[in-house]
Amino acid sequence: MLVRLENVGKRYGSGAEILQDVTVTLDPGGFYFLTGVSGAGKTTLLKIIYLAERASRGIVTLFDTDTATVDRQMQASLRRRIGIVFQDFRLVEHLSVRDNVALPLRIAGAPEREIRENVPELLGWLGLGDKADLRPATLSGGEQQRVAIARAIVRRPDLLLADEPTGNVDDEIAMLLVRVFERINRLGTTVLIATHDVAFARQFAHERFHLEQGLLSAVGGEEAP
Amino acid sequence: MIGAMIGARGIAPRLDLPFGRDATGRFLPWIIALMVYLAVLGGVGLMLLGDTLRDWNRSLSTTLTVQLPADASAGRIETAVAALKQTSGVASVHLLSPDETARLIAPWLGAGVAVDALPLPHLVDLHLDPSADVDLAGLRQKLTEIEPGAELADHRTALTELHGFAVRVEGVIGTGVGVVAVLLVLTVVFSARTGLAIHQPVVDILHLLGAPDRYIAQQFQTHALWLGLRGGAIGGIVAAATIVVLGRAAGAISMPLPIAAPGLLDWRMWALLVATVVVAGLVAMVTARATIARRLARMP
């Protein structure tokens, strides 16, 4: 299994638990939606998976490694196997689109030759070929989102987490983005997309988890006729 | 040129963190430039002082000067010179001619002074066998018996005092250079910590993308090396200009200087200058790396 959460709870300070007894398994090659209204804890759950937050209780296993025991170096190593599309994109403003997308490759120590070959190809694939030298601030929201997706998938991660990737785009583009994720998934990457839009997620025959008042339930695959 | 070096972003290394936008990148090269300037001048000063001490040791430890009164008769002078030549351990004896004596004092009196009219003493240069133990007290007594006004100047006493003074000066300069090095380290530590605080949002993104601490530290160390070399180069250029100016000014003085003047063709001086610039860059780099690595290791 790729990701396993067992009885995971999360609370900030002495407040109420945002996540309660969350138990979920993500298998290699799977494609999952995580739905729930805004504030349901979707982002927190994703943060626990990509190790930006620690669970208050429970066991989080990532790539067969118990994350409670990992040191900083191991934590970085696990994160390099995950691609993340942040809700607010989190692009590095002073870097060009090309250098933003190249970041995971450079962090992994990929040779510049590989970066010069792969990054333009990926940007072209996502319709950003002519934006490579621009800074993120000069792009539209949809374009920034595609840059964030390109950065998340450029290393063909084992796990791709996307937090509200369809939140800022119209239905047509949202559909297109999911198709992009499906193509990545077919290459072997496990995909987990968090969205508040239940109706949108229901259009696809992918397994779905629903988060409500901190409790997670499996809904199963369903596709609109 | 110096301004262009400070703003030399076109040839700066490609880094993920926006170092060009924070103030540390603007003031650090100037501080390093000042430190390198002081360190180079201090280092050159130490080098010249060492040369001077070696010259003094070489020339004075085996030489003595005998001074006979201006009114000493030719016969007594001849007798004194003969006695000196017979003294055990004296390698050579040279009675300075009036012209040689005049040349010796010319730098102080200036050209055109009629030295013949002055009551100059008769000087005798003695070179001692370095391995011999000359009985100076006996020699002094013998000379006084020949010519009561004779004086034997033993430079070694003065040399010992000068040597002690020079060693203390070396200590002061060495301490100064050490203080500059410590200040450089502290400045880079402060700058690196400030830089980490300023760039924390981008550092967070890099961490989330899987960057290990050493990757982040590498960003800071490369930036510090670049700033160190840039600042060092500026300080080195100004120090070189200062040395050239001082060397030319020293060359224009006709009087003998008490300390060796900077010789512009002395390769050691330029090697010291280049080495100081490189060391400043390396110190900045290593300090930045260690500072950032420690800070990151404390993060949750």
Task: Going residue by residue through chain A, which has 225 residues, state the pLDDT in tens, using 9 for 90 and above.
Answer: 789 999 999 998 888 888 999 999 999 999 999 999 988 899 999 999 999 999 999 999 999 999 988 998 999 999 999 999 998 899 999 999 999 999 999 999 999 999 999 999 999 988 898 999 999 999 988 889 899 999 999 999 999 999 998 877 788 888 888 998 999 999 999 999 999 999 999 989 899 999 998 899 887 655 544
Looking at CA atoms only, how far is residue B193 from chain A in angstroms?
20
Nearest to A79 among B16, B18, B208 (CB): B208
Low-confidence ranges of chain B (pLDDT < 50): 1-9
Whether residue B22 contacts residue B195, with contact meaning beta carbons closer than 8 Å, is answered with yes
A62 phi, psi to nearest 5 deg: -125, 120
Nearest to B18 among A79, A94, A108 (CB): A94
Whether residue B188 contacts residue B175, with contact meaning beta carbons closer than 8 Å, is answered with no
Whether residue A79 contacts residue B208, with contact meaning beta carbons closer than 8 Å, is answered with yes
- Per residue in A64-73, pLDDT tens? 999 988 998 9
The pLDDT value recorded for residue A78 is 95
Nearest residue on chain A to B207, judged by CA atoms?
Answer: A76
The pLDDT value recorded for residue A221 is 57
Residue A111: Cβ within 10 Å count: 9
The pLDDT value recorded for residue B36 is 92
**Residues contacting residue A205 through CB under 8 Å, at least 6 positions apart:** A221, A222, A223
The pLDDT value recorded for residue B6 is 44
The verdict on a CB contact (< 8 Å) between B211 and A52 is no
The pLDDT value recorded for residue B7 is 47
Helices and strands of chain A, counted as H and E runs: 7, 10
Nearest by Cα to B223 from B7, B12, B6, B10: B12
Query: Which chain A positions have a beta carbon within 8 Å of B9's beta carbon?
Result: none
Spatial separation of the C-alpha atoms in residues A218 and A27, rounded to whole Å: 14
Whether residue B147 contacts residue B117, with contact meaning beta carbons closer than 8 Å, is answered with no
Whether residue A224 contacts residue A196, with contact meaning beta carbons closer than 8 Å, is answered with no
The pLDDT value recorded for residue B147 is 85
Looking at CA atoms only, how far is residue A37 from chain B in angstroms?
25
Whether residue B81 contacts residue B139, with contact meaning beta carbons closer than 8 Å, is answered with no
Nearest residue on chain B to A99, judged by CA atoms?
Answer: B16
Q: Is A186 on the interface with B (CB under 8 A)?
A: no
The pLDDT value recorded for residue B1 is 47
The verdict on a CB contact (< 8 Å) between A107 and B297 is no
Query: Which chain A positions have a beta carbon within 8 Å of B14's beta carbon?
Result: 99
Whether residue B260 contacts residue B161, with contact meaning beta carbons closer than 8 Å, is answered with no
Query: Residues of B near A (CB-CB distance < 8 A)?
Result: 14, 16, 18, 20-21, 202, 205-213, 215, 296-297, 299
Core vs surface per residue A19-57: b (16+ CB within 10 A) or e:
bbebebebeeebbbbbbbeeebbbbbbbbbbbbbbebee
